[in-house]
Amino acid sequence: MNYVIGDVHGNYDTLLALVKKLPSDAKLIFVGDLIDRGDKSAEVIRFVRENGCQSVMGNHEELTFTFGYLVVSSYENATPLALHNFWYSNGGIETLLSYGLIELADGKPQKVKDYENALQRFKDDIRWMETLPLYIELEGKYIAEKPVVVSHAPIDSVWDLRNVESMYDTFHKTATTNRKNPSKDAKIFNIFGHTPVEFGPEVEENYVNVDTGCYVHKHGYGQLSAYCVENGEIIRVHRI
């Protein structure tokens, strides 16, 4: 059975609680945004990689390897660490803390002395993030007679552009940042995350939004959810 899991955002303990509720032989597929905001991003990445799980690239993976290489360069070239950037303010601080690559002084990130092992692990992980696909089409799986496709954000509007080299940037941006739900005449059954929804996954005739806002501290959110491709079962747990 294939279970598609929503945006984890570094909530490792919650992920373990969800996995315990799934069949022991479940095949786990993640919609990206494995990292940032929660306090155990490094552990989430290790779980996904060591267990051979599949994942697509989310906008937070892209943020992490884009800005993460600047952190790597800062250590390797002995240059000052940036004190503010877009990634930091969107969960990057928590990710770097989970890798042991920074400490906070008066709320500002500072370098650590013993960083070599942590830096090597971080470099290896961000290289892996760069290799993640923008979508996964599940071979032989159909819902409502449409092929099942997992992506971070909805991609029905650009599905026909997926193999058009000149339109790669458009496809990439849509796959990682789009917030417009698929149309009813979409050619695919799209399972995605990116935009948190209240009170459980949003299940429609041509798509499922499985992001139930694991990191969001508001009523109706704060859950991590999984959707079974084969039978439509939904399993969810509250954030730990």
pLDDT for residue 172: 98
- Amino acid, single-letter form, for residue 234: I
Any idea what DSSP says for residue 23? -
At residue 80, the pLDDT reads 94
Domain boundaries, the chain: 2-57+134-238, 60-130
Residue-wise pLDDT tens digits, 6-18: 999 999 999 999 9
Buried b (16+ CB within 10 A) or exposed e, 115-147: beebbebbbebbeebeebebbbebeeeebeebb
pLDDT average, residue stretch 70-93: 96
pLDDT grade for 121, boundaries at 50, 70 and 90: very high
* Tokens at 97, concatenated: 């803390």
- Domain 2-57+134-238 class, CATH top level: alpha beta
Helices in 51-167 by DSSP H: which ranges?
Answer: 59-76, 92-99, 116-130
When the pLDDT of each residue in the chain is averaged and rounded to a whole number, the result is: 97
What is the rounded average pLDDT of the residues 207-216? 98
Task: List, for residues 180-193, the tens digit of each pLDDT value.
Answer: 999 999 999 999 99
- Residues of the chain above pLDDT 90, percent: 100
Tally Cβ neighbours within 10 Å of residue 78. Answer: 8
What mean pLDDT is predicted for residues 130-142?
98
* Cα separation, 65 vs 185, whole angstroms: 35
Rounded to an integer, the average pLDDT of 128-148 is 97
pLDDT at 112: 96
Which stretch of DSSP H or E encloses residue 42? helix 41-50
Task: Report the C-alpha gap between 137 and 59 in whole angstroms.
Answer: 19
Stretch 26-42: mean pLDDT, rounded? 98
* Residue range 145-202, pLDDT digits in tens: 999 999 999 999 999 999 999 999 999 999 999 999 999 999 999 999 999 999 999 9
State percent of the chain over pLDDT 70: 100
